[in-house]
Amino acid sequence: MAISLGQIFRCLHQPAGAIAVLGVISNAKMLYVITPVLTGSILLLILAVIFNKIFKINPSYPFHWF
């Protein structure tokens, strides 16, 4: 379904499509598909916060989250 929607909206992201295909082909459980996505998202968020704190860049997004 993820690949089909990506093709319809012309916004297919190859790594995300690969995770979906591997999950379907290997008949994996939902945890196998969610784990790489969740891990990658958390890692990117942590790196973004660290980068922002190190370089003290003035953010243009709402600052009340931190």
Q: What tokens were used for 49?
A: 């916060």
Predicted pLDDT at 45 = 93
Predicted pLDDT at 22 = 80
Identify the residue whose tokens are 């290997």.
Answer: 26
Identify the residue whose tokens are 């790196």.
Answer: 47
* pLDDT tens digits for range 2-44: 778 878 888 877 777 777 788 788 888 878 767 877 888 899 9
- Asked if the model's pLDDT at residue 54 lies above 80, the reply is yes
Q: Identify residue 41 by its one-letter amino acid code.
A: S
Q: What tokens were used for 35?
A: 């784990």
Q: Read off the pTM.
A: 0.50
- Asked if the model's pLDDT at residue 66 lies above 60, the reply is no
